[in-house]
Structure 1
Amino acid sequence: MNLDKLIRTNIKNLKPYSSARDEYTGEAMVFLDANENPFNEPYNRYPDPLQRKVKEKVAAIKGCEPSQIFLGNGSDEPIDLLFRAFCEPGRDNMVTMDPTYGMYQVSADINNVEVRKVKLNPDYSFSADALLEKTDNQTKLIFICSPNNPTGNLLDKSEMTKLIQSFSGLVIVDEAYIDFAPGASLLSELNQYDNLVILQTFSKAWGMAGIRLGMAFASPEIIRIFNKIKYPYNINMLTQQKALELIEQEADKNQWVDLLIDERKKLAEQLNSFPFVVKVFPSDANFLLVKMHDARGIYDFLVEKGIIVRDRSKVVLCDDSLRITVGSKEENEILLEKLNELI
């Protein structure tokens, strides 16, 4: 991969904004460089723009180098940065699966980048060749999501590897739900592919959706481009502090994952017993895609009962389907109790 050919010319030539905390890091007796208010410590100080302490913790648990990590305001920030850095508006395009996570399309539309979609197979598997056939000289990015949202299935590793090895642009693998899957993350293979970008998040398995902290893993060269164009202080002090605190609770995270996988299995079995359920699709995530008779009617019924699921009936290949997040044992029992009233 030739990164110089991929990156937009204006981004390559961009002189990034240099904040006070970029120019000086470390301890000092008096800080008079950033026009900060001297009162209300520690919140009067700007946060570390590169989140060094958090990256050190993340690198330790992920088995990579801090230089291979970008931390964003959710995974949506690095998704947007990929378009801003590598896709010329009105000229370049990206390729993705259909159905998949909707923010790839939204970010592309915002950045005026053409989206080329390849429909998944009926069993929700994908073909690397089918995606590659959609590419041309103006294709800069290919997005895939594994486990996929909303279908829940882990993608075939050999097909993902083929895609990465065959495409001259960037392949982005979104692993937001990887902790719930039996297959290993591609993160261990990051050093083998200079065109691979892996997205993960603290929102799902770690239970930190409220602090909005996403992760992108890539070569140091790609990470430097992200840092060049991101907003100076994109991760606030409170988020960094809370992340450092919660990362220490990895044992709790692992326990939550085990419990949710167990609940996923039980919930799938019980949902399959209802006469209005056509199919519960296999899931490697923390949710189930469930095809039903009158999915919209059942959705409305659940809303009346104060239970909110996601109606995915209008999504390609997901007609008459609801996406149901796996909750706690108590939450799942309430759902099943209310559905039982429809029998």
Structure 2
Amino acid sequence: MSVQNLIRPTIKALKPYSSARDEFQGNSGDMVFLDANENPFENGVNRYPDPQQRTVKSLLSEIKSISQKNMLLGNGSDEVLDLIYRAFCEPNQDNIITLPPTYGMYSVLANINAVEIKSVQLSDSFQPKVDEILEIADSNSKLLFLCSPNNPTGNSFEAKSIERLINKFNGIVVIDEAYIDFSNEESWASRLSEFPNLIVTQTLSKAYGMAGIRLGICYASEEIISVLNRIKPPYNVNELTQQKAISQLEQNALTKQQVESILEERDVLVSKLNDVNFISKIYPSDANFVLAKVDDATKRYNQLIEKGIVIRNRTTQPGCENCLRFTVGTPKENKILIDTLKSI
């Protein structure tokens, strides 16, 4: 399988926009910049940001042990996913495959880009049905989305299933690892060199506590990254986002401490949820949330809203009837949740 054969012809022929900061890549030092029609009066953000986010990528490279050449950053993971659609999916012709219950934006972006959606529901244990997925795929199946750890179920997919899908699917396999930092599983980004059709997406919104800055990460082969760079907006990650990301990534030890604290609280939360009389099942989680089956999800959701607690009702998702999703909060927030659940 050749990645080049998967790229849309219009994207192959596209002449990318070259911004002023793309053209000058030297050391800025004491250079006088009169090339980008910026306001010359310094205020910290009067200049355009680095279009390739080099400092952020350098820090990520140290933390993740992945070359900067294998990275693309976006305005949240949703922009990264949208770029993948636009690079590989021909509107009104191609299709993608999703495995519900899963992250809803895969389908939303498919609809925006006029791409057909094929779905194979996860098994009762929330694992991919590999044979059915490969059977439903056809010559126009360009993208297969695997969310692992999965949202909203919280579990990781079996490595042997993922590897088989990457090897057998004749398109791009996108593994969404938004919650990988809470899992003991190794990131698939460490195996990019083995699989030319693999894309791994991550984010700073979860473990790194930076949902407000909107920074998504794409790891892939240099070939795929070069394609995505051709179509991304020239300054898609703003200067303030880059500054905040740099500050947070420089405190990676603090992030690890917070992750450990969240995992400890998750264990406490699970043990306490087991004592709630209308919760019948708590699903295993490799993420910073817990999915639980209750007697009446909509009723319990509304009761919690009335008490000032917002959770997620997932009862409309395939395989998640009467399920509620609880994000792991602070010890104080979790205690309020448990006390409230027991009181209703």
Aligned residues: 342
Give how far 1:282 is off: 0.9
Trace 1:60-71 onto structure 2 (pairs within 5 A). 60-71=62-73
User: What is the aligned counterpart of 1:92 among 91, 94, 107?
Assistant: 94
2:228 is aligned with 1:232: no
Percentage of identical aligned residues? 52
Paired letter, 2:306: E
Paired letter, 2:114: N
Aligned 8 A contact 1:268 1:288 in 2: yes
Normalised by the length of structure 2, the TM-score is 0.98
- Displaced runs of 4+ in structure 1, greater than 4 A? none
Write the distance in 2 (CA, Å) between the matches of 1:292 and 1:41. Answer: 53
Write the distance in 2 (CA, Å) between the matches of 1:115 and 1:29. Answer: 50
Write the distance in 1 (CA, Å) between the matches of 2:64 and 2:132. Answer: 32
Write the distance in 2 (CA, Å) between the matches of 1:14 and 1:117. Answer: 31
| Residue 85 of structure 2: aligned partner | 83
| Residue 53 of structure 1: aligned partner | 55
Aligned 8 A contact 1:96 1:131 in 2: no
2:291 is aligned with 1:289: yes
2:332 is aligned with 1:330: yes
Give how far 1:195 is off: 0.5
Aligned 8 A contact 1:129 1:163 in 2: no
Structure 1: segments with no counterpart, 5+ residues:
none
Give how far 1:127 is off: 2.3
Write the distance in 2 (CA, Å) between the matches of 1:87 and 1:308. Answer: 37
| Residue 18 of structure 2: aligned partner | 18
| Residue 4 of structure 1: aligned partner | 4
Give how far 1:126 is off: 1.4
Give how far 1:128 is off: 2.0
Trace 1:256-295 onto structure 2 (pairs within 5 A). 256-295=258-297
Give how far 1:265 is off: 1.2
Write the distance in 1 (CA, Å) between the matches of 2:63 and 2:133. Answer: 32
Paired letter, 1:25: Q
Give how far 1:305 is off: 1.1
Aligned 8 A contact 1:309 1:322 in 2: yes
Give how far 1:182 is off: 1.8
Write the distance in 2 (CA, Å) between the matches of 1:4 and 1:284. Answer: 35
SS at the partner of 1:253? helix
Write the distance in 2 (CA, Å) between the matches of 1:331 and 1:41. Answer: 39
Aligned 8 A contact 2:293 2:323 in 1: yes
Q: CA RMSD in A?
A: 0.9
SS at the partner of 2:72? strand
Aligned 8 A contact 2:189 2:220 in 1: no
Trace 1:96-111 onto structure 2 (pairs within 5 A). 96-111=98-113
Aligned 8 A contact 2:3 2:196 in 1: no
Aligned 8 A contact 2:120 2:129 in 1: no
Paired letter, 1:260: I
Structure 2: segments with no counterpart, 5+ residues:
none
1:243-299 CA-partner distances (Å, limit 9, x unpaired): 111101111111111111111111111111111011111111100111101211111
1:277-328 CA-partner distances (Å, limit 9, x unpaired): 1111111110011110121111111111111000111111101111110111
| Residue 216 of structure 1: aligned partner | 218
| Residue 163 of structure 2: aligned partner | 161
Write the distance in 2 (CA, Å) between the matches of 1:29 and 1:209. Answer: 35
Trace 1:28-47 onto structure 2 (pairs within 5 A). 28-47=30-49
Write the distance in 2 (CA, Å) between the matches of 1:30 and 1:248. Answer: 29
| Residue 311 of structure 1: aligned partner | 313
Give how far 1:40 is off: 3.2
| Residue 246 of structure 2: aligned partner | 244
| Residue 300 of structure 2: aligned partner | 298
Write the distance in 2 (CA, Å) between the matches of 1:316 and 1:133. Answer: 20
Normalised by the length of structure 1, the TM-score is 0.98
Aligned 8 A contact 1:70 1:216 in 2: yes
